[in-house]
Copies of this chain bind each other. A is one copy, B any other.
Amino acid sequence: MSWRNNLRDVEPYVAGEQPKMSNLIKLNTNENPYEPGEKVKEAIQSFEPFKLRLYPDADASKLKHLIAEYHGLEDDQVFLGNGSDEVLALTFLTCFNGQNPILFPDITYSFYPVYCELFNIDYKTVALDDAFKIKKEDYFNKNGGIIFPNPNAPTGELMSVDDIEDIIKHNPESVVVIDEAYIDFGGETVIPLLKKYDNLLVIHTFSKFRSLAGSRLGVALGNKELVSHLYDVKNSFNSYPIDALAQVIGEASIQDSEVIKEHAKKIIATRERTKKALKEMGFTMTDSYSNFIFIHHDDYDAEHIFKELRKKHIIVRYFNAPRINQYLRVTIGNDEEMDAFLEAVKEIIQAF
């Protein structure tokens, strides 16, 4: 026997790389190309460092209030965590303790099965249809919980609020978690359904729409009973996950909402323009409602394009996984970045 026998062995999630090379065009982790906003700048500049000696507000109550107000909810319907990954982890730990396996798509955020392994949660993946869409009827069977992103990742495909409502209606015995990390790039949120269904939890993040991936702010919105269970679990794990600076940055970001919405519009316009140019090169793609596109070419190997782009210091995301290993997920950067990307892709396929 050795102390090693007491150790937990798990296969961790692998995030998109953060390469340290210079002159990089980084289109691999769905970061926003625009700045977070003026109020965020001011919040950092006016922050008094002496305050750091104190623990932050464990409830981040001011930020919670501003988020509630922004979405037309009550404060106690808002749960905050250290990025939406932590919020998701705590959601799995809190909400998925039933007898039956939980359900999520076979092609989706690849962190979900990792959480399941970590917390010993039984799960079953449900295949997307051939067009990479979620079929709602597949989620009408007995289960211990349901989770999927809307828009889905890495496909970007959006499900309508009505279809999600149908899934919730068919699952009064499960918590249905809709991960809306990318909802603000053209999708319609299910937040209004919170008024009608108490088994719905909606996950948001400050990382994408609000350009604050560096600040680690994630949100869950639900009925107050569900939210209070999340807090009990969070307070059994880490009392103060959101540091003092992240709190004031988050507060400022809510005030910056108008300019951030303008940035999202620009990203959507760039996305549509990029799709058009790629189609002209013979690419096909899913109907993305997010700040990334998911592209395929019948004639050129995806991994080859991925590697050639990397040589040109352009990083996109390639998943060597069943069904999607001939696709690339490309974050929508600013216009200049996407022009460089399109130019590079053109060169690569011409040189094939």
Contact = CB atoms under 8 A, between A and B. Distances in A.
A40 B52 contact: yes
A95 B213 CA distance: 30
Contacts of A95: 6-8
A18 B232 contact: no
Number of chain A interface residues as a range: 35 or more
A233 B13 CA distance: 9
A207 interface: yes
Interface in A1-37: 1-15, 18, 26, 29, 31-36
B12 A231 contact: yes
A318 B15 CA distance: 43
Contacts of A51: 214
A117 B6 CA distance: 17
Contact of A232 (B9, B225, B238): B9
A127 interface: no
Given A44-B47, A82-B82, A53 B6 contact: no
A114 interface: yes
Interface in A296-343: none
Given A6-B96, A18-B58, A86 B35 contact: no
B211 A240 contact: no
A141 interface: no
B236 A117 contact: yes
A219 interface: no
Number of copies: 2
Contact of A226 (B7, B172, B173): B7
A239 interface: yes
A93 B236 contact: no
A240 B226 contact: no
A174 interface: yes
B98 A5 contact: yes
Interface stretch (A179-187, A243-251, A276-284): A243-251
Interface in A40-89: 40-41, 44-45, 47, 49-58, 82-83, 85-86, 89
A175 interface: yes
A51 B215 CA distance: 10
A9 B225 CA distance: 12
Given A6-B175, A8-B233, A229-B7, A35 B53 contact: yes
Nearest to A12: B235
23 contacts: A2-B173, A3-B172, A3-B175, A8-B232, A12-B231, A12-B232, A13-B236, A15-B55, A15-B240, A29-B55, A35-B49, A52-B211, A52-B215, A56-B216, A82-B82, A83-B241, A85-B238, A85-B240, A114-B236, A115-B237, A117-B236, A216-B243, A245-B246
Interface of A: 1-15, 18, 26, 29, 31-36, 40-41, 44-45, 47, 49-58, 82-83, 85-86, 89, 93-98, 114-115, 117-118, 144-145, 171-175, 198-199, 207, 211-216, 225-226, 229, 231-246, 249
Given A12-B232, A118-B237, 20 more contacts: A3-B171, A3-B198, A3-B199, A8-B232, A9-B229, A10-B233, A10-B236, A12-B235, A14-B235, A15-B239, A36-B53, A44-B49, A53-B214, A55-B213, A56-B213, A56-B214, A85-B237, A85-B238, A89-B238, A214-B245
